[in-house]
């Protein structure tokens, strides 16, 4: 299959490209497009055959459910048994945006989308290209991240082409995505709502609407009944083993620099996910650096790290490093929690320092 690649202005996408993407989706085609989080691989959520082809193209196990993307809370209504007041309030505050809500599904949603679960995950994305394509398609669009299963999620059109070129009908390239980590997944189908996956919408932001909300701890009931690989501990991983340093920020950097020196001296090709300050501490030794941020203030830095995280992992893979070293962000607040979660899933080893 030849994959059609189209570049568009992310703020004002060419209407002809959007119309072609929408027509392709309506025919059961697979179309990758940017969202504000990462690139999604879209398919008509109500077309079972197309959904099966999507799982095949990604190499994704069929027991990992998909998020359905819609244009509005009204459109979400048809996919669920009911829209509870709490979902309405959350949608009013956070949609369009990087928050996914899990609710009891209606019979309209095929089993293939939900991996047989009685719930469905739904969100309204804010990226103008995603919004335009979903509106033009006039259907709910199931869209997991547009990467091969277990690879880091794509945050640039080129990442999608690398993973899925020749396997899908079309890629709409709207430049790098803004947030860089996948949406927050909030399960509202239970009595006590929990965040299944941390993202840019943080616990602190959710608390005014969902007072008792917390992160998931152990596996959920659904996962006990049927494992959900999206939550698998090893996920989003680069090819080279990643060693993650966790603990007191200064001690962590020192430990990482020491290990980088030792491995480089032993002849290993070392890749480091580094802030500008890490890069200075590493000095002139021969390591491959993937910069994740400049030297801005703490929260600004987390925003920068999140947006660069997956691109940095892919750059180090392309540079064919033998090992990757990275430091965990100090705070678990804000985006720090989401970055930590993705780094832990990508890591082969975690070294606790201090
Ligand atoms: P991806 O689209 O690749 O970012 O992955 C979607 C994520 O949403 C996966 O981690 C799934 O486990 C999660 N998800 C999708 N549907 C449901 C559901 N019905 N219940 C719980 N988690 C879900
Ligand atoms: Mg994914």
**3-state SS string over 182-248?**
CCEEEECCCCCCEEEECCCCCHHHHCCCCCCCEECCCCCHHHHHCCCHHHCCCCCCCCCCEEEEEEC
Q: What is the pLDDT of residues 95-142, one digit of tens each?
A: 999 999 999 999 999 999 999 999 999 999 999 999 999 999 999 999
Closest ligand 1 atom to the C-alpha of 121?
Answer: 16
* Strands of 105-200, DSSP E: 119-123, 141-142, 170-173, 184-187, 194-197
Give the architecture-level CATH label for domain 4-215.
Alpha-Beta Complex (3.90)
What pLDDT sits at residue 227?
A: 44
Dist CA 256 CA 250 (whole Å):
10
Q: How far is the CA of 305 from the centre of ligand 2 (A)?
A: 19
Dist CA 71 CA 127 (whole Å):
11
Q: What is the pLDDT of residues 296-341, one digit of tens each?
A: 677 778 999 999 999 999 999 999 999 999 999 887 778 999 999 9
Is the predicted pLDDT of residue 230 greater than 90, yes or no? no
User: What residue's CA is closest to ligand 1, atom 12?
Assistant: 230
Give the architecture-level CATH label for domain 242-353.
3-Layer(aba) Sandwich (3.40)
**Residues carrying CATH 3.90.870.10, the chain:** 4-215
Closest ligand 1 atom to the C-alpha of 145?
Answer: 3
What pLDDT sits at residue 85?
A: 97
Indicate the pLDDT class of residue 219, thresholds 50, 70 and 90: low
What pLDDT sits at residue 231?
A: 54
Dist CA 217 CA 5 (whole Å):
41
Ligand nearest, relative to CA of residue 40 = 1
Rounded mean pLDDT, 261-271:
96
Closest ligand 1 atom to the C-alpha of 67?
Answer: 15
User: What residue's CA is closest to ligand 1, atom 9?
Assistant: 230
Query: Per mean pLDDT, which range of 43-57, 251-265, 278-292 is the poorest?
Result: 278-292
Q: How far is the CA of 148 from the centre of ligand 2 (A)?
A: 8
What pLDDT sits at residue 269?
A: 96
Indicate the pLDDT class of residue 206, thresholds 50, 70 and 90: very high
Rounded mean pLDDT, 208-228:
73
**Residues carrying CATH 3.40.50.11030, the chain:** 242-353
Closest ligand 1 atom to the C-alpha of 40?
Answer: 2
Q: Is the CB of 120 under 6 A from ligand 1?
A: yes
Q: How far is the CA of 221 from the centre of ligand 1 (A)?
A: 14
Indicate the pLDDT class of residue 228, thresholds 50, 70 and 90: very low
Please give the DSSP secondary-structure letter assigned to residue 212.
T
């Amino acid at each position: 299959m030849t994959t059609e690649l189209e570049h568009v202005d992310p703020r004002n996408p060419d209407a002809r490209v959007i119309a072609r993407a929408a027509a392709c989706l309506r025919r059961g085609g697979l179309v990758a497009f940017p969202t504000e989080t990462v690139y999604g691989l879209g398919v008509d959520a109500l077309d079972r055959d197309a959904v099966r082809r999507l799982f095949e193209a990604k190499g994704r196990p069929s027991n990992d459910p998909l998020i359905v993307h819609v244009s509005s809370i009204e459109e979400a209504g048809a996919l669920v048994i009911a829209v509870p007041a709490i979902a309405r309030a959350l949608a009013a505050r956070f949609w369009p945006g990087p928050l996914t809500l899990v609710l009891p599904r209606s019979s309209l949603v095929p089993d293939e989308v939900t991996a047989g679960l009685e719930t469905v995950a739904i969100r309204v994305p804010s990226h103008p290209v995603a919004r335009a394509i979903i509106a033009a398609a006039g259907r709910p669009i199931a869209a997991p991240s547009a990467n091969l299963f277990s690879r880091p999620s794509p945050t640039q059109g080129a990442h999608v082409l690398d993973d899925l070129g020749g396997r899908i009908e079309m890629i709409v390239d709207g430049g790098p995505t803004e947030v860089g980590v996948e949406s927050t997944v909030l399960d509202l189908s239970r009595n006590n709502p929990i965040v299944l996956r941390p993202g840019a919408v943080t616990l602190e932001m959710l608390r005014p609407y969902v007072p008792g909300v917390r992160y998931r701890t152990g596996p959920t009931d659904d996962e006990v009944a049927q494992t959900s690989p999206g939550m698998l501990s090893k996920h989003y991983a680069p090819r080279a083993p990643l060693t993650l340093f966790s603990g007191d920020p200064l001690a962590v950097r020192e430990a990482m620099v020491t290990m980088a020196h030792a491995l480089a001296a032993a002849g290993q090709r070392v890749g480091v996910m580094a802030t500008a300050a890490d890069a200075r501490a590493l000095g002139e030794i021969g390591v491959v650096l993937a910069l994740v941020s400049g030297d801005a203030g703490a929260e600004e830095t987390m925003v920068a790290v999140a947006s660069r995280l997956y691109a940095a992992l892919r750059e180090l893979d392309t540079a064919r490093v033998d090992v990757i070293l990275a430091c965990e962000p100090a705070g678990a607040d804000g985006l720090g929690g989401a970055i930590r979660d993705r780094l832990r899933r990508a890591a082969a080893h975690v070294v606790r320092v201090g």
